[in-house]
Amino acid sequence: MIQGLSSMRLTASRCARWRCNQFRGASSSKTPPAPAATYATATQRKATQETAIHKIPLSQELPGLPKAVYTRAPDTDPFATQITTLDNGLRIATEAHFGEYCTIGVAIDAGSRYEIAYPSGISHFLEKLAFNSTLNRSRDETFGMIERHGGLIDCQSTKDTFVYASSCHINGLDDVLGVIADAVLRPQITDEELETARTIVQFDVEDMNRRPDCEPLITDWIHAAAYKGNTLGLPKYCPEENLNKITRQIIFSFMKAHFTPKRIVVSGVGVSHDKMVEAAKKHFDISTTTWAKDNSVVLPKVPSVDTSIAQYTGGEVRV
């Protein structure tokens, strides 16, 4: 019996020591680390990761990022120009280019060098009249259409070329080319629009004469001295004495003579050639022009196109 009691005491003592050790172990494992130690460890880990990322060469992908998926470009030659000439003489030129946006435009064999039979300044007026109301849409509808396709649109002229162009999403090719065709062939040029353009042209002329750097005028003066009274020597900017001479009939007469299919190239970069040809056939119908539908908008006798060659004369221009 005494031996049994001793065994029981020994067992109880061992159990007590085991429980004490378990309690101490659990207490030490549940004790959270000090905040300062945690912050230091996290900072050190982040610095180590950043250092490791900076050591990765640019030729390798960064670890932990999803695998990049690249769009495959179609097999096209970006510098291969396709040209189609329609029966009416209109030319369509395109170049394939991979992307979501395209640039389309119309280049016209016209400009101030062809104004010998008109009051100089018509091209200057036409720049300011571009993309106003047309037979098919108002000015607001025109710019609303461009905005819907994320586009930009502009009209500029040189002494021998007019350019109407736009950059837009490729899905807007047909709509935007229709806007450009309307501006070229079907403008309304209301009295209000003409007077607004006259005011803008007058401001341009006065502003250029006041500027200390008159580079645009210098270029005009150089040409006027080199080709006095012919072709390239005619002024690009409207002379002040012609501001009130340019009328709606004069502008439409100039457009009827020069904005013809044989003098127009429709071009695009980043578009399908077949779609461009289809859109050009649809929108550049010469029978739907403003002057074709109403012959009273032009002069009784429209001057013919000046086909003379630029003749160098030399001389001086004093200002």
Q: Among all residues, which ones are annotated catalytic?
A: 127
- Distances 155 to 120, 183, 188 between C-alpha atoms, Å: 19, 10, 17
Burial class (CB in 10 A: 0-12, 13-18, 19+), 255: buried
Amino acid at 261: P
Tokens of 83: 């040209």
Q: Determine the Cα angle at 164 with ends 160 and 167, to 5°.
A: 135
Q: What is the amino acid identity at position 215?
A: E
Query: Which segments of the chain does DSSP mark as H helices, in order?
Result: 2-30, 35-55, 122-129, 139-148, 173-185, 191-210, 215-226, 248-258, 273-283, 290-293
Of the candidates 193, 106, 181, 178, which has an alpha carbon nearest to the alpha carbon of residue 148?
Answer: 178
Characterize the bridge pairing of strands 91-95 and 81-85.
antiparallel
